[in-house]
Amino acid sequence: AQRVTQPEKLLSVFKGAPVELKCNYSYSGSPELFWYVQYSRQRLQLLLRHISRESIKGFTADLNKGETSFHLKKPFAQEEDSAMYYCALLTTNTGNQFYFGTGTSLTVIP
Amino acid sequence: DVKVTQSSRYLVKRTGEKVFLECVQDMDHENMFWYRQDPGLGLRLIYFSYDVKMKEKGDIPEGYSVSREKKERFSLILESASTNQTSMYLCASSFRGDYQPQHFGDGTRLSIL
């Protein structure tokens, strides 16, 4: 069963425009959600997690349990934000298993 | 800083060969994972391990096996490589417990000819 859905494979925005990368999840337990980012030729790295409720590189994400969503947002996109973004769900009922979405490739147009 | 090291960045092997991919982490993490990353498919879990000598199948274990003889090392084995196993392979590790993120290696791009 698909636990994490990222509906957009590709997303292009102009520099300075707002950006939103969508993520929806399905999980009967209490969700622990993360966003990971992979810049060109770099390793996959943690961007932020919902429990921290922090802003990293200008990005924020709010967990909406009613809509089962964890969308990633940034008010003003920068060229250096161009990367592949993955939403991930951590389940703890059978150990720490992550479920990743299929990823969204963000391109910020200068 | 967490260090997850994969033994090779690029690897080319032939169909039918037995292939070993090695991963070492230096943070005393209990959990280790192997994924393959393919365009449009995201990350798919092959196998994971909660502890030494323990292993669990992920979503796509067919054609693969793993070994974890020491806590810091997790090996992925392609018993008889096939062309459909050409992919990017990612290793990750994490602490056990709530809200523990995974830390990834640089990946091994494996080509099976």
Quickly name the fold that domain B4-97+107-112 has: Immunoglobulin-like (2.60.40)
For chain A positions 21-60, those within 8 Å of chain B (CB to CB) are 32, 34, 43-46, 49, 51
Measure A79 CA to nearest chain B CA, in Å. 22
Domains of chain A: 4-109 (2.60.40.10)
Minimum distance, in Å, between the CA of residue B106 and any CA atom of chain A: 5
Distance CA A30, CA A93 (A): 10
CB contact under 8 A, B98 and A92: yes
In this prediction, what percent of chain B has a pLDDT beyond 90? Answer: 83
Q: Where are the domains of chain B?
A: 4-97+107-112
Cβ neighbourhood burial of B106 (10 Å; 0-12, 13-18, 19+): middle
Confidence band for A17, pLDDT divided at 50, 70 and 90: very high
Spell out which chain B residues touch chain A, with contact meaning CB-CB distance below 8 angstroms.
31, 33, 35, 40-43, 45, 48, 50, 56, 58, 90, 92, 94-107
Bridge partners, A109 (sequence order): A14
User: What's the pLDDT tens digit per position in B3-57?
Assistant: 999 999 999 999 999 999 999 999 999 999 999 999 888 899 999 999 998 999 9
Q: For residues B88-105, give the mean pLDDT.
A: 91
φ/ψ (deg, to 5) at B64: -125, 155
